[in-house]
C-alpha cells in the first residue's frame, strides 16, 4: 500500500465513525398533578432566583452558612466528585482518537538452519490497535460519561441547597432551645419561690402537706424539663458543628441568649409556581434526569457489541539488521493492518449486557419519576403546613393569653380561700406547657419556610469555595455549557 493512502484511510475511518445505536429517550409526562393541592403566593420572585444571602438576612446566619460552604466535608466530596467525573469524561473521549507512540526494538537470535546469529533493529512511529467507532460504541460511552458528569455537577448543587437549608434549620432550632431554656429557668425560679411559700404555709398550719407535695412535684418537673432542653441544645450545637465542619464561633452562640424566635429577621414568602417548574429549578431532579440519559446511552454501547469491531494498526519507521544502517533511506518502511472481529458465540454475554443496560435504564427512569413525585410532595407539604401553622400559632398565642389570665385569677382565688391549691397548680402547669408549645410551633413555622425555600430549588448560588469554582470552570467547556 502506498504511503499516500494512509491519510485517506484514516480520514475514511473517522468519517465512518458516526453511527449511533443509542435509542430515542421518551420522556413521559410528569407523574404528578398539574397544580399543587394548596394555592400559593403569586407575583413574587421565585425561590430559585433568590440567593441565600438575600433570603436569610440575619448576619449571624449568613456567616454560619458561608463557613459551612467553605468547610463542610460532604460538600467537599461533592466538589471532588465533579473533578473525578470530568476526568473520566476526558478518558472516555480520548478513546475516539488514535494513540500514537514511538517504538524501538532490538533483537538477536540464532538461525536454526545456518546456525549463525543475526541482529534486527527497528524504530518507528505507530498506531496501536485503534478501534474505529463505526457503530458508535465509544461515542455511546462518551455520551454516558458526559451525562454522568452533568449529573455529578447537579448533585453538587443539590448538596449545597441541602447544606444551606440544614444550617438554617439547625440555627433556628438552637434559638428555640435557648428560648425554651430561658422559659424553663424563669418557671423554675417561680416554682421554687412558690414551694418556699407553701412550706411556710405548711409550717403555719395554713396549707396541707398535699399542697406542699404537689408544689414540690411541679418544681421537679420543671427541673427535668430544663435538663432535657439543655441536652437538646447541646445536641443541636453538635449537629451545627458537623454541618459547619468546625466549631461554631462562640460569639454567635452567645448572641442567642436572651433572644426569641420572634426577634429574628422575617424570611420572604416565596411562590410555589407550577409543578412543572420543579424539573427546571431543582438540581436533584436534573441530576436524576442526567442519570437516566446516561443509562440510555449505555444501551447504545451494549447494542454495538453485536456488530463487527473494526480496528487499525499502523507503523512507519526504519528497520535494519545493522545498527549503522538503521536510518539509511533503504531501511524505510511502513505497515498498515486493519482488522475486523465479528462475535459469533460468547455464551450469551452480549445479550446479557444489553438486558442489563435496558434494565438499568428502566430503573433510572423509575428513580427519575420517584424524584419528581418526592419533590411534588415536599412542596405540597410545605404549602399545607404554611397556612395551618400560621393558624395554629395564632390560636395558641391567644390560648396563652387566656391561660395567663386564668393563672392570675386562680392565684387570687387561692389567696382569698375561694379555690384550692390544685386549681392554681393546674393553671401553672397548663400555662408552662402552652408557652413551650408556642415556641415549638413558631420554630416549626420558620423551619417550614426554610423547607419550602429548599423544596423550590432555593439556596444555589456561586458563593462556593474556590476549589468548587475551579472544578466547574474547567469542566464547563467540556460539557459545552457556559
- DSSP H or E run through 129: strand 117-132
Measured CA to CA in angstroms, residue 273 lies from 91, 277, 280, 382, 460 at distances of: 41, 7, 12, 13, 18
- Confidence label for 474 from pLDDT (cuts 50, 70 and 90): very low
- List beta partners, residue 332: 318
Mean pLDDT calculated for residue range 333-355 = 86
Check residue 286 and give its pLDDT: 92
- Confidence label for 25 from pLDDT (cuts 50, 70 and 90): confident
Judge if 20-96+136-306+349-479 and 97-132+308-341 fold alike in CATH terms: no
If one counts every other C-beta atom within 10 angstroms of the C-beta of residue 330, the result is 8
Q: At residue 101, what are phi and psi to the nearest 5 degrees?
A: -145, 165
- Decide if pLDDT at 12 tops 60: no
Ranges 35-39, 136-140, 164-168, 273-277, most confident? 164-168
Domain ranges of the chain: 20-96+136-306+349-479, 97-132+308-341
Cβ–Cβ < 8 Å for 148, 85: yes
Please name the residues in contact with 20: beta carbons below 8 A apart, sequence gap of 6 or more. 136, 139, 140, 300
Instruction: Please give the residue that has the higher pLDDT: either 39 or 437.
Output: 437
Measured CA to CA in angstroms, residue 418 lies from 403, 409, 423 at distances of: 19, 11, 10
Positive/negative CA dihedral, 369, 375, 378, 384: negative
Ranges 209-213, 383-387, 423-427, most confident? 383-387
3-class SS string, 379-397: HHHHHHHHHHHHHHHHHHH
Mean pLDDT calculated for residue range 386-392 = 91
Cβ–Cβ < 8 Å for 270, 41: yes
- Decide if pLDDT at 131 tops 90: no
Superfamily of domain 20-96+136-306+349-479: Outer membrane efflux proteins (OEP) (1.20.1600.10)
- Confidence label for 323 from pLDDT (cuts 50, 70 and 90): low
CATH code, 97-132+308-341: 2.20.200.10
Mean pLDDT calculated for residue range 233-241 = 95
End-to-end CA distance of the chain: 46
- Decide if pLDDT at 467 tops 80: no
Mean pLDDT calculated for residue range 431-443 = 94
Mean pLDDT calculated for residue range 31-42 = 74
Mean pLDDT calculated for residue range 69-94 = 89
Please name the residues in contact with 341: beta carbons below 8 A apart, sequence gap of 6 or more. 308, 309, 311
Check residue 9 and give its pLDDT: 45
Mean pLDDT calculated for residue range 93-113 = 81
DSSP 8-state symbol, 322? S
Check residue 117 and give its pLDDT: 80
Mean pLDDT calculated for residue range 177-196 = 90
Mean pLDDT calculated for residue range 351-356 = 92
Instruction: Please give the residue that has the higher pLDDT: either 34 or 301.
Output: 301
Q: What mean pLDDT, rounded, does the chain reach?
A: 84
Measured CA to CA in angstroms, residue 121 lies from 106, 314, 328 at distances of: 5, 18, 12
Check residue 391 and give its pLDDT: 92
How far is it, in rounded angstroms, from Cα 220 to Cα 427?
Answer: 17
Mean pLDDT calculated for residue range 407-415 = 85
What crossing angle do the helices spanning 137-203 and 73-94 adopt, rounded to 10°?
Answer: 170
Measured CA to CA in angstroms, residue 279 lies from 87, 289, 321 at distances of: 27, 9, 69
How far is it, in rounded angstroms, from Cα 399 to Cα 430?
Answer: 10
Global pTM reads: 0.82
Amino acid at each position: 500500500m502506498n504511503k499516500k493512502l494512509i491519510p485517506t484511510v484514516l480520514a475514511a475511518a473517522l468519517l465512518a465513525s458516526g453511527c449511533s445505536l443509542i435509542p430515542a429517550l421518551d420522556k413521559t409526562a410528569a407523574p404528578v398533578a398539574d397544580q399543587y393541592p394548596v394555592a400559593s403566593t403569586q407575583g413574587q420572585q421565585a425561590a430559585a432566583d433568590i440567593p441565600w444571602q438575600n433570603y436569610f438576612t440575619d448576619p449571624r446566619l449568613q456567616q454560619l452558612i458561608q463557613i459551612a460552604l467553605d468547610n463542610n466535608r460532604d460538600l467537599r466530596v461533592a466538589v471532588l466528585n465533579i473533578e473525578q467525573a470530568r476526568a473520566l469524561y476526558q478518558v472516555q473521549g480520548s478513546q475516539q482518537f488514535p494513540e500514537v507512540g514511538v517504538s524501538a526494538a532490538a533483537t538477536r537470535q540464532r538461525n536454526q538452519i545456518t546456525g549463525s546469529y543475526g541482529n534486527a533493529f527497528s524504530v518507528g512511529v505507530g498506531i496501536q490497535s485503534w478501534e474505529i467507532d463505526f457503530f458508535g460504541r465509544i461515542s455511546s460511552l462518551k455520551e454516558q460519561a458526559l451525562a454522568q458528569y452533568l449529573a455529578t455537577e447537579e448533585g453538587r448543587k443539590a448538596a449545597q441547597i441541602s447544606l444551606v437549608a440544614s444550617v438554617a434549620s439547625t440555627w433556628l432550632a438552637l434559638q428555640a432551645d435557648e428560648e425554651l431554656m430561658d422559659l424553663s429557668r424563669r418557671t423554675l425560679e417561680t416554682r421554687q419561690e412558690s414551694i418556699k411559700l407553701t412550706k411556710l404555709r405548711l409550717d403555719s398550719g395554713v396549707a396541707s402537706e398535699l399542697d406542699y407535695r404537689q408544689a414540690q412535684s411541679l418544681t421537679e418537673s420543671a427541673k427535668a424539663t430544663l435538663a432535657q432542653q439543655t441536652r437538646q441544645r447541646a445536641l443541636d450545637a453538635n449537629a451545627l458543628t458537623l454541618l459547619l465542619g468546625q466549631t461554631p464561633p462562640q460569639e454567635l452562640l452567645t448572641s442567642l441568649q436572651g433572644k426569641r424566635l420572634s426577634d429574628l429577621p422575617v424570611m420572604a414568602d416565596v411562590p410555589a409556581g407550577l409543578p412543572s417548574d420543579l424539573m427546571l429549578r431543582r438540581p436533584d431532579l436534573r441530576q436524576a434526569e442526567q442519570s437516566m440519559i446516561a443509562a440510555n446511552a449505555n444501551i447504545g454501547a451494549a447494542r454495538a457489541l453485536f456488530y463487527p469491531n473494526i480496528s487499525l494498526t499502523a507503523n512507519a519507521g526504519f528497520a535494519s539488521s545493522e545498527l549503522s544502517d538503521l536510518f539509511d533511506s533503504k531501511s524505510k518502511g511502513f505497515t498498515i493492518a486493519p482488522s475486523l472481529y465479528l462475535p459469533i458465540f460468547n455464551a450469551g454475554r452480549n445479550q446479557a449486557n444489553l438486558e442489563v443496560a435496558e434494565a438499568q435504564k428502566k430503573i433510572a427512569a423509575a428513580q427519575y419519576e420517584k424524584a419528581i413525585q418526592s419533590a411534588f410532595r415536599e412542596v405540597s407539604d410545605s404549602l399545607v403546613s404554611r397556612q395551618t401553622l400560621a393558624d395554629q400559632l395564632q390560636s395558641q398565642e391567644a390560648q396563652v393569653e387566656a391561660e395567663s389570665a386564668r393563672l392570675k385569677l386562680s392565684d387570687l382565688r387561692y389567696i382569698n380561700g375561694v379555690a384550692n391549691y390544685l386549681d392554681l397548680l393546674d393553671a401553672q402547669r397548663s400555662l408552662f406547657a402552652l408557652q413551650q408549645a408556642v415556641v415549638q410551633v413558631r420554630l416549626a413555622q420558620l423551619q417550614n419556610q426554610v423547607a419550602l425555600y429548599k423544596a423550590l430549588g432555593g439556596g444555589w448560588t456561586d458563593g462556593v469555595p474556590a476549589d468548587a469554582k475551579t472544578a466547574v470552570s474547567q469542566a464547563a467547556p467540556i460539557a459545552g455549557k457556559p
